[in-house]
Structure 1
């Protein structure tokens, strides 16, 4: 059995338990011992972060080879047009290579808690919310993707990882689940001679 914590990481909190500079960390919110983040969420991003006490589950969630879909609600500067959305869907060229195709669509502003501090808004530039689903996890990938199509990210909230969602969790709250994982088969020895 593996234990999983679904945590709604507030803005400004690091995805780790300690920090030499005494910035807010997971340790300020999570008192359960033996849990480790399965993946990361940037300090200036909010939303769903999964933590587990099981190394196998941590690997399945976090490792890029498993291509676990992650959905983000992204508030961007300006209103992306058809070409910008098509570019996100086809894959965007970044400095570290082209991204995998993503699911991207315009959405109405989601019902969210106020961010502290609030985003900077400019009176003459409208903002728009997107739902963006990716299957890889490069450093600051969503922010780099929206910037590459001309729409800098103002607010970023991860809403879903695989089938796990943020539903019902206020910022700083967590919910525990018990998962029954299949036992891993023993590794076979390579290079055995056939008789």
Structure 2
């Protein structure tokens, strides 16, 4: 998890990243990472339930993402009429915020919360497009995979040769994110 958060920070432009695990409607803070003088500092945390007036992450934002299963991207969270009243947002005044649901079998299992306190507009709509396949959509009668949000149908994945090693199904071209190094 430390490596994951370190890579996310390096590639996204965020100053801080938090990973929260979801169980039903309950959230717990699992890990955090931040950029400091000596690089990225990532810490795994003991399971810490998240209360409604959390001072560790903005409870209003993460609960909204958990409830709606939709990402939240704010260019200036402190100026957001929806979330400015959150105790965390009011105290810390984060500028750019991106919170993404991580979905498995149509259930939110975790949230990734990113913030930058210095600059507005760090997380562009293009960053959200990289996650346009999330959360997975319910299966449709067409051949479009459930994890893809593309409107055109896809060919079914190629069958693996008998006796060959199992392979992970590869996403359709619309769902492949750009290479990691292309961000900045």
TM-score by length of 2: 0.29
Structure with greater proportional helix content:
2
Bigger Rg, structure 1 or 2: 1
TM-score by length of 1: 0.28
Q: Higher relative CO (CA 8 A, sep ≥ 6), structure 1 or 2?
A: 1
